[in-house]
Amino acid sequence: MVAVWDVIKLQFQKSRKTDIQQIIQENTIEDSDVLAEEARIKNLTEAHPGAVGEALVVSDLTKMYKNFYAVNHLTFGIHEEECFGLLGVNGAGKTTTFRMLTGDCKPDKGNALIHNDSLRTNLRKINRLSSTVEVTKRKLSVAMALIGCPPLILLDEPTAGVDPVSRRKIWNILSQARNNTGAAVLLTTHSMEESEALCNRLAIMVNGRFQCLGSIQQLKSKYGQGYTLIIKMKREDQNEPARMNAIKAHIQSHLIGANLKDDHQGMLQYHIENPQITLSYLFKFMSSMKVQFELEDYLISDTSLEQIFLAFARAQRETT
């Protein structure tokens, strides 16, 4: 049964790419939440010379290599006690952003303020305030980063390659550190599970720019509209066109806005776009339908964070 549902989920992920990609194209000419964050930081820096109420303020941070932007006028802020997740495939600009924030490379334009100290003028003091976890020796580096209760912790893939038990222990330690010391965290990760476990807000970075920004639920609501319904018939019924047609007719009659996306080997996949159809109604409807049509099983799902991330990541350019 597990193997069957793995196949179903894989088919679901492939078929949803087009739907999510369309929503992304409609919303991300310039994402409204990214623009709102840029406006918030601009107003903050104009009204106050320092990063009032923010653990980190990044303003117009820019880095170019050859003829392309590695980091393209990045502007955002991290609240005190907040964990801010930075997602992106290799080459998106995450590591370059970290290198500028830690003084490993000089920005071509822009600045960052860490508790009112400027990256350009007070780098030594910033290095004493901020702790960074390197990609190697992760367990030890996480422990070292927490020494002295720094107000800002930069974590560059802190659990990559770490076993599952240790990974969860690290998550718990980081959560406790934030709660007990009020530290803010800037986190890069390739793990959607880690993002959901730790991050209050996150941004998906593509070609040096934020393509979206917000809480996980905000991103799911904005880019993962509707539900996916997968219906699996019993093996002995899969070659009976009359039963298949009856199921399709029942869906079309009772689930207005259900669009058939796939019909393959006794499995039907629908995208439910009607906002008036609630998740509770959908489960109640399918529970009754399973009995009525003697179905093998069904799956109802919203769009996962991973699917949203993969849809954005397809726009990442290749660099040499």
User: What is the distance of C-alpha 9 from the center of its chain?
Assistant: 19
Alpha helices (H) along the chain: 2-27, 32-47, 94-101, 123-129, 138-146, 164-181, 192-198, 216-223, 241-254, 279-292, 305-313
pLDDT tens-digit series, residues 112-124? 988 777 887 776 6
In this prediction, residue 108 carries a pLDDT of: 93
> Which tokens hold the place of 186?
């800037």
Stronger pLDDT, 255 or 223, i.e. the higher one: 255
* Average pLDDT value for residue range 80-100: 92
pLDDT tens-digit series, residues 215-226? 998 998 888 777
In this prediction, residue 291 carries a pLDDT of: 94
Task: Kindly report the pTM of this predicted structure.
Answer: 0.72
Short-list 233, 221, 211, 255, CA closest to 33 = 211
* Average pLDDT value for residue range 56-84: 93
- Number of helices and strands (H, E) in the chain? 11, 14
Stronger pLDDT, 41 or 148, i.e. the higher one: 41
In this prediction, residue 1 carries a pLDDT of: 41
**Does the pLDDT value for residue 299 go beyond 60?**
yes
Stronger pLDDT, 128 or 85, i.e. the higher one: 85
* Average pLDDT value for residue range 31-40: 94
Provide DSSP, 2-34: HHHHHHHHHHHHHHHHHHHHHHHHHH-SS-HHH
**Does the pLDDT value for residue 80 go beyond 80?**
yes
